[in-house]
Chains A and B, each alone.
Chain A
C-alpha cells in the first residue's frame, strides 16, 4: 500500500516536471521560430500601420519580455486558464474540448482496431509459423512498418473516395446538412476511412511482437507438457498463450499513444478531419502559441497516461513485475 502511494507520488512528480519541461521547450522553440505570429495572422498583409501592429502586440501580450510572457501563461494555467487562441480568438480550452471529442473517437477506434487485428494476426502467424499464411502476415507487417501514414491515407482516399466513391472525401459531417439532421450513421461513414488509415499505423508492431512472443510460448516446456496432456491448439492458446503473449502487445500498444497522436495529425490532415491534430498543425504554422501549448500539454498528459497505464496493466497481468513498482 505504502509502496503504491510512493509509486504514484513519484509518477506524479515525474509527470509534472515533464509537463513544465515540455512547456518551456515548446515556448523556447516558438520564440526561436521564424514565424512572426502577427504576419501569419494577417496573412502577410503589408498595409498594417505601426499603430495597428502595436495594438495587436499589446492585445496578445507580445510586447512583454519572453520570460514575463511565459510566467503570465504559467500563472494563468495554474488558475485553470489556458488563455485565448490568437488565431481563433476563442478560449483555448473551448477549442480543445470541441476538437478532442472528434479526435478521441478517431484515435479510440483506430487504437482498438489495430490492437485487436494486430494481436489476432500475430497469434495466427505464430501458430502457422513458416506456412504461407504466416509469411503473408509477416509481409503485411513489414510493408506496413515502412509505409508512411499520410501516403496510406492518400491511397485510400483516391481508391475509395475518388474512384469508387464509397466514402466521403473528408470532414466529419455530411456536406451542407444542418447539424440537427446529421445522424450517427453519417458520422460513422465519415469516420471509416481516417480510422482505417490510422489503425493500419499500429498493426505491424503488434503483429511482430505478438508473433515472436507466441512462438516462444509455443516452444516452452509448459506448452510441451500441455500438449502431452492432450490439450488441443485452441486450449493451449487460451490457457497458456494469451495471458503470456498479451504482455508485449499491451505494453507496446499503450506506449504507442504517442505515435497514435502523431499519426492522427497526418490522418486528420489528409482527410480534412477536424480534430486536435489538424488544429495543432494550424496553430504551429500560424504561431498561435497559447493554442499550441494547450494542445501540446494535453497530448503530453495523454501519452504519459498511456505509458503509465501500460506499466500498471503489466503489473496486473504479470505478478512478477509488481516487485518493480
Chain B
C-alpha cells in the first residue's frame, strides 16, 4: 500500500517536473529563474551515502574493538579526546589532573551529556565501561588500572598500579557505555551520547545513522548518513553510477576521474619500515623460544647506511604512485616526535663511506661487501598477502644493492614471521595517535613479548628517557622525554642513533567524493585507512559553491 502511494507520488512529481520544464521552454525569462531556484534547493544537501570498506571496524561494541580505530566520536563520547592538532582536550571530562606520583588521575565530569535514549550520562556509566573492558581483557590493555573511585557525581578517580602517561590513549578511545543498556546484543542497538545514533544495520550491506537528538555538542549539518559496505571494486562502480557521495580509495584507483568529484588525500602516520635485529646471533631466545640476533644487521654501520642510503621518495613514487610521504620515525608529525630525526636520504656515497670505515669492503668483486669473511647479506621477511609491503620490500632490496648489501626477500605469513622476526629483518608497520606503541617497540623490559621490541633494542640512555616519559604527570613533560629518547644529541632510538628500525614511508589516506563535501579539519590519520576520515563526521558540512578544479 505504502509502495503504491510512493509510486503515485513519484509519478505525480514527474508530471510536475515535466510541466515545469515545458513551461520553462515557453517563457525563456521565467525559465531561468525557475531552474535557478530549483537548483539552489537541490544543492543544500543534508544526507550522505558513503563507502568506507566492507564492515564497520569493531562493530559498534568496544568489546569487539570499537573505538580502537579513531571511530569513538561517531556514536559515543569519551572522557578525553584529541583535536585536529592532536592536543588532548576534554570531552565528558571537562578537565583532569594527574597526581605527582602519577598514580591517581582525577576527572571532573560534565552534567549535560545525554544518551540517545534521553537518559543522562553519569560517573557510574564511566566506571562501568572501564571496569567491564578491564575484566574482558581481550582488546583493551587496562592491566595497570587498579580501581575506580566515584568521589561525587561530578568527580571520578582512576587509581593505577604503576605510572602510565600513555593512559591518555585509552582515555581518548574507550567509549562511555550506558550501564543499564549494555549486554551481549549491544552492537544491534548501540546507545551512545555521540553526534549520531545507529538506526539500522543490515549486516554486510549498510548501516544508517541519524543525528542523535540529545547530543550535547554542536548539531551536525548532515542529518543522516548511510554507510554502504562494498569492496573497493564495487565501491568504484557505485561511485561511477552516482549512487554514493564518497568512497575510500586504494592508491591504484586514485587516478579514476568522476565528474564533479575530487580526490581527498590526507597525511597519515601509517608508517612502513624495516626492523633490523640489534644483537649478534647467539644472544639467546625469546620467552617463546624463538632465536634472537643477526650477525649482519647487528652491525650499526649496516643499519645507519640503510637509514641514510635508501631513496625514500623513489619508494613512495614507485609503490604508492606518489600517494605517500617519506618517514623517518614511528611517530612522525606527532606531538612527541623529535623533528631532528629528519635527515637527507639517498646519500649513497656517505652510506658507502660509513660501511667502508666499519670494515665492510667488497674484496672478491661480487658487488657484495664483506667483513671478516662475513657477507653483507640478510633476509627480509614480508607478509606476501600485503601488496604494498611486498612491493616496498622489492624496491628496498634493489636499492640496497647500490650500497653493496644483499637483501634476500622471503614472502611469508605472520605465523612464520613471528618465529623469525627476532633474528631477521621484517617489513613492519605502525602508527598511532599515542606514543605507547613507540614505548613498547623500544623498551628492553618488553623485548620479545608478542610484537613488542622485536629488535631487542637495549640502550640504557633511551630506556631512561622512556621511563621518565611514562612516569611523567603531564603530557608536555612526557613529550619532552619521548623526543629526547629519539635523539638527545648523542644517542637515541632513531636513525641518528641506534637505528633499530629503518622507517621508510607514510601512506596517504585517499578518499574520492563529491567536491562539495567539506570534511573539516582532519588530524593526521593513523594506521587503518577506511574509517579514519569519518572520525569527525559530525563536523562535516556542504559547500554548495565548491567545484572540482
Residues of chain A having any CB pair with chain B under 8 Å: 34-36, 39, 42-53, 55-56, 59, 88-89, 98-99, 157-158, 161-162, 165, 168-173, 175-176, 178-179, 181, 183-185, 269-272, 274, 278-279
Q: Do A170 and B206 touch (CB < 8 A)?
A: no
Q: Do B237 and A172 touch (CB < 8 A)?
A: no
Measured CB to CB, the closest approach of chain B to A29, in angstroms, equals 15
- How far is B5's CA from A181's CA once the two chains are assembled, in angstroms? 12
Interface string of B200-230 (1 = CB under 8 A from A): 1011111010000000000000001010111
Measured CB to CB, the closest approach of chain A to B185, in angstroms, equals 9
Q: Do B139 and A171 touch (CB < 8 A)?
A: no
Q: Count A-B pairs with CB separation below 8 Å.
A: 130
Q: Which residues of A contact B204 (CB under 8 A)?
A: 99, 272, 274, 278-279
Tell me whether A173 and B450 are in contact in the complex, defined as CB-CB below 8 angstroms, given that A43-B57, A52-B137 are known contacts. no
Q: Which residues of B contact A157 (CB under 8 A)?
A: 237
Interface check B264, CB cutoff 8 A:
no
Tell me whether A176 and B206 are in contact in the complex, defined as CB-CB below 8 angstroms, given that A36-B413, A169-B230, A169-B243 are known contacts. yes
Q: Do B238 and A55 touch (CB < 8 A)?
A: no
Q: Do B430 and A46 touch (CB < 8 A)?
A: yes
Q: Which residues of A contact B3 (CB under 8 A)?
A: 183-185
Measured CB to CB, the closest approach of chain B to A179, in angstroms, equals 6
Q: Do A34 and B413 touch (CB < 8 A)?
A: yes
- How far is B527's CA from A42's CA once the two chains are assembled, in angstroms? 12
Q: Do B59 and A46 touch (CB < 8 A)?
A: no
Q: Do B230 and A272 touch (CB < 8 A)?
A: yes
Q: Which residues of B contact A45 (CB under 8 A)?
A: 68, 527
Residues of chain B having any CB pair with chain A under 8 Å: 2-3, 6, 47, 49, 57, 59, 61, 64-65, 68, 136-141, 143, 187, 199-200, 202-206, 208, 224, 226, 228-231, 234, 237-238, 240-243, 383, 413-416, 428-430, 432, 436-437, 440, 449-452, 527-528
Q: Which residues of A contact B2 (CB under 8 A)?
A: 181, 183
- How far is B272's CA from A46's CA once the two chains are assembled, in angstroms? 13
- How far is B3's CA from A181's CA once the two chains are assembled, in angstroms? 8
Chain A's closest residue to B63 (CB) is A89
Q: Do A170 and B238 touch (CB < 8 A)?
A: yes
Q: Which residues of A contact B206 (CB under 8 A)?
A: 171, 173, 175-176
Give 20 pairs: A residue, B residue, CB < 8 Å, sorted on A: A34-B415, A45-B527, A48-B450, A49-B450, A52-B139, A52-B140, A158-B237, A169-B241, A170-B230, A170-B237, A173-B202, A175-B49, A175-B228, A176-B208, A176-B224, A176-B226, A178-B208, A183-B3, A271-B234, A272-B229
Chain B's closest residue to A279 (CB) is B204
- How far is B428's CA from A209's CA once the two chains are assembled, in angstroms? 56
Question: Of the candidates A36, A55, A274, which one forms a contact with B137 in the assembled complex, judged by CB atoms under 8 Å apart?
Answer: A55
Measured CB to CB, the closest approach of chain A to B145, in angstroms, equals 13
Q: Do A51 and B229 touch (CB < 8 A)?
A: no
Tell me whether A161 and B414 are in contact in the complex, defined as CB-CB below 8 angstroms, given that A55-B138, A178-B199, A272-B231 are known contacts. no
Q: Which residues of A contact B140 (CB under 8 A)?
A: 52
Q: Do B413 and A173 touch (CB < 8 A)?
A: no
- How far is B450's CA from A46's CA once the two chains are assembled, in angstroms? 8
Q: Which 8 A-B pairs have the closest CB atoms?
A: A274-B204, A46-B451, A183-B3, A176-B226, A34-B413, A171-B205, A169-B238, A55-B137
Q: Do A59 and B138 touch (CB < 8 A)?
A: yes
Chain B's closest residue to A179 (CB) is B200
Q: Do B414 and A170 touch (CB < 8 A)?
A: no
- How far is B229's CA from A278's CA once the two chains are assembled, in angstroms? 12
